[in-house]
Amino acid sequence: MIVSWKRYCNRRRLKLRDIVQQQGLTYEKLCSFFKSRRATPPERTEPEVLDIFGPPAPPKPKHNPVPKPEKPKKPAPPKPKKPKIELSIKDTKARLLEVAKIVNLDVSESLTKQKILDVLSTSERVSVKKVVTGRRKATKKKN
């Protein structure tokens, strides 16, 4: 059961001033003192409280705070680059035409593989590998 602070003090034959002096309490601590003992704390405007603590301090006017400088934003992480498509002369003509379509380059089917590779090498998304193939030696036919 919650009792008033006056009843709490009267039952124990205590005076509010004695409690504050013995415990060294501020008004906020006095309120928590009574709350911990399940008693309602006194209002800040009650005469006994005003005699002990004086009138409440007027609220401090809020000054316009100095705006904090904005922190520079971190640059956005770079987008993952699409991997380059690696092609060589060994790829099939159908594969080269397919990649040309992906990269949005106009390539005719009548072009040779080497010419298609030359057109594809202008794109940034395609890397053309230089491939050196070994030459077959001509063999003499035996009669």
Model confidence band, residue 143 (pLDDT cutoffs 50, 70, 90): low
**In the prediction, which pLDDT does 60 show?**
78
Please give the average per-residue pLDDT across 104-110, as a whole number: 86
pTM above 0.75, yes or no: no
* Three-class SS state of 40: strand
- The number of helix segments (H) and strand segments (E) in the chain equals 6, 4
b/e burial code for range 65-90 (CB count within 10 A of at least 16 → b): eeeeeeeeeeeeeeeeeeeebebebe
Predicted confidence (pLDDT) per residue in 28-80, tens digit: 898 899 999 899 988 888 888 888 888 877 877 777 777 777 778 888 788 77
Summary mean pLDDT of the chain: 84
The amino acid occupying position 34 is F
Q: Domain segments of the chain: what residues?
A: 3-53, 85-128
Residue 133 predicted with pLDDT over 80: no
Please say whether the beta carbons of 48 and 62 come within 8 A. no
Residue 31: helix, strand or coil by DSSP?
helix
Bridge-based pairing state of the strands 39-40 and 3-4: parallel
